[in-house]
Chain A
Amino acid sequence: MNRLKRAFTFGSPAELARIGVILALLGLIIFGGLRYDNFLSAFNILSFLRYNSMFALIALGMTFVIITGGIDLSVGATAAMASVVAALLSGHHWAAGLGGGVLAGLAVGILNGFLVSRMRIQPFIATLATMLAASGTGLLLAGNQSVSVSYDTGFTAIGQDDFLGFPIAAWIAGLAYVVGWLVLEKRPVGRHILAIGDGEQTARMMGLNVERNLALVYAASGALAGLAGVILASQFGAGQPTEGVGWELFAIAAVVVGGTLLTGGSGSVGATLAGALLLGMVFNILNFENGLGWISLSAYWQSIIRGAFLLGVVILQARLQQRVKLS
């Protein structure tokens, strides 16, 4: 009887939100395509993908962290620090820049994992502290200014060039999402972290190694932030120690818009991708709106509209949740 009832109601609130975000994304694409001539041009699509691949990467790591019921506030500062490390190493070989940046991010991630899983410090505080530390380290390494990357070793290709018609950065992000999806949906470790987010005590009693899984998740989030930092340095031709401010909130917003609850225990990699693309698309459309000259939106309006958009989405999700609870 219960099962019958469930079949006729619209799934879980999280599923509903996920359908909502995909519909909203499609709606925005159709709106943009109809309203602006160049919206669906190859140039716009490719630069959209190039730029948003960084945010998509940190949102992917954030999804896993949030599924465990945690949060990672350090990703923006980590990406900034990694961009500095990558820029400093980019002169030796492009791979040195890439590897160095990712390793720098991974180091912060491992530290986060240690603080959260071994020292049992709340993720919010642990990653707040590493956020300060990472941004301090980035500033120290860079001497308080941006560091230019080397153009001789081909390092800038990572963020600026295309491969088979698509930006290399988008390939990297796409590959990361495929791997992330496989890990979450098809591997035991994915089920384990879902179980941990659902109830840490229960997961522990089931014999799962909670500490190791948590450490893995934070390490992955750090490494992905490092990768985003590499793309940042490569795309803008400089390691930027003060960039990345607010990126963590963008990533959290993307995950939330994707329907993943911050309480943990559920989440979908695909929905996060849709959430990140949706938030990026709002910006993209605002830029077109500016170009048309209908409303002259300054950069300041963009953050208001982004906030209002987030507000709309979270209220909608709350409504859906309440309705599902009642039915």
Chain B
Amino acid sequence: MTNPQVPISTIEAPRARGGFLLYASRYGTLVAFLALVALNIAITPNFLSMQTLTVNLTQVATIVIVATGMTLVIATGGIDLSVGSLMAIAGAIAPMIFMHPAWPAGMMPIAVTLAILVPVAVAAVLGLFNGMLITRYGIQPIIATLVLFIAGRGIAQVMTNGNLQVFRNDSFQFIAMGKIAGIPTQVILMMIIVVIAWAVTRYTVIGRQIIAVGGNERAARLAGLPVKRVKLYVYMISGALAGLAGLVVIARNSASDANLVGLGMELDAIAAVAVGGTLLAGGRANVIGTVLGAFVIQLVRYTLLANGVPDAAALIVKAGLIVFAVYLQQRADKS
């Protein structure tokens, strides 16, 4: 009673801090992105060149494509560890189709179309398989997708006998090497996918259902939402996008190596989602955040490599970045 100011200040202080954290978590990724760009302009030679932009965009494109699917999966409260292996499977199938000697000369466009559609469809079916394990048997997503994480790369290796498939096929490689209006095709592909996913999560019924399922599955079920179907969809989409990313990777490399395609991609995708501000507990889907998250991770790596820091050290910085981003979000969420 002697000092009426005290209670007011104790109320004010956490509110101000909460406000800061909220801003930091909401715009932190954007600020980090802009700061990284500014830093690079200042210290990295030739940063502001078309070539640097292209290198960064093409390197980030596959991560963004996979991470978009991962965002939807994580929004339902799940996780998909199998994406890297699905990329390897799709990457193994495509060259088998368009390199098959049975194709008559004039049928190449059909071969290439099939070489794009079939691998993506196979990856989607495998994603559906993940979803089945999760919805039908109630297996936790991390374990259900662990099955294909382990077996998937083996499937790709068995299909190719572990051999490197080298090819040169301009029409297939257009999905990575081609340019539309001066922009690399894979970047356009990435943008289309991001825009669709953003619109779906923002404006469609299924988008809201995904978020509702992740927010409170029990409540969603009681409210009559088709919880199982929603989950099947997201794992299928995640699988299909991983398959597409696998095709982009092999088209870019002019070669498919089942041992390497998509290796560690699940970590990059999850990291992009986490840095981008989607809560890993589910119930939120921030597609634009994921894109920014992927760009931040890519730029950090580029900054370090371009300035002579070894790749191994870049891993440590990436780790710190992930922890910091998640920590900020969680603090903001609590206040």
Contacts and interface: CB of A to CB of B under 8 A. Distances in A.
B316 A298 contact: no
A310 interface: yes
Given A136-B316, A139-B312, A322-B138, A314 B147 contact: yes
- The main secondary structure of chain B at its interface with chain A is helix
Interface size class of A (residues with CB under 8 A): 35 or more
A122 interface: yes
B312 A136 contact: yes
Given A300-B158, A314-B137, A314-B143, A128 B315 contact: no
Contacts of A136: 312-316, 319
A225 B79 CA distance: 25
A128 B270 contact: yes
A149 B153 CA distance: 32
A306 B147 CA distance: 9
A132 interface: yes
Contacts of B330: 120-121
B203 to A, nearest CB: 29
B280 interface: yes
Nearest to A119: B327
B143 A133 contact: no
Contacts of B280: 122, 124-125
* From B143, B281, B313, residue with most partner A Cβ within 10 Å: B143
B322 A71 contact: no
- The main secondary structure of chain A at its interface with chain B is helix
Contacts of B140: 262-263
Interface stretch (A32-40, A94-102, A204-212, A248-256): A248-256
A272 interface: no
Interface in B137-151: 137-140, 142-144, 146-151
Given A124-B79, A129-B318, 14 more contacts: A119-B327, A122-B281, A136-B319, A137-B312, A139-B312, A140-B312, A246-B150, A303-B153, A303-B157, A307-B150, A307-B152, A310-B150, A311-B151, A322-B137
6 contacts: A140-B313, A253-B146, A253-B150, A300-B162, A310-B150, A314-B133
Interface of B: 79, 133, 137-140, 142-144, 146-155, 157-158, 161-162, 267, 270-271, 274, 280-281, 310-316, 318-320, 322-323, 326-327, 330
Which 8 A/B pairs are nearest by Cβ-Cβ distance? A307-B151, A136-B315, A303-B154, A139-B312, A300-B157, A318-B137, A133-B319, A304-B154
